[in-house]
Amino acid sequence: MANSENLVTRLEDLPGEPFECGSLTWLCSDRLSPGALQTLGLSTILPGKQNPLHYHPNCEELLYVLTGCGRHRIGDEFVEVRPGTTVRIPTGVIHNLINTGTETLTCLISFSSGDRQTVFLD
């Protein structure tokens, strides 16, 4: 049986990564839990900001909106998002998220690899 120390994380113990547009806090990944086959995180985008245009060459992404509203670019299309919206971004598809509201946009994000890779285009 695996050591539970490597299987459990607590949000209050995890460092957030601040960015100009908001922050990312990784909840699970191969780095946090060796052998993990998925990556899970919390993403925030500040009002009027957007994350850089990017894609993931080795995994698909699921994004679930917890708070706020915005527009998600998926390839050449834009989709309005609000709490309760789930977006699936296939491997290799260019995308980004724009906060069009007045409150912080918070999303639960999941990737189909424990070693999520990102290529930024901006």
> Structurally, how many domains does the chain consist of?
1
Give the number of other Cβ atoms within 10 Å of residue 88's Cβ.
Answer: 11
Residue with tokens 């706020």: 68
What range does the domain containing 75 cover?
Answer: 23-120
31: nearest Cα among 6, 52, 13: 6
Residue 29 belongs to a domain: yes
Phi-psi region of 35 (alpha: psi -120 to 50; beta: other; left: phi over 0): left
Residue 13 lies in a domain: no
Let me know if residue 97 belongs to a domain.
yes
Considering the domain boundaries, does residue 10 fall inside one? no
Kindly state the DSSP code that residue 10 receives in the 8-state scheme. Answer: -
Higher-scoring residue by pLDDT: 81, 4: 81
C-alpha closest to that of 118 among 27, 56, 50: 56
102: domain CATH number is 2.60.120.10
pLDDT at 5: 75
pTM here is 0.93
What are the tens digits of pLDDT across the range 43-95? 999 999 999 999 999 999 999 999 999 999 999 999 999 999 999 999 999 99
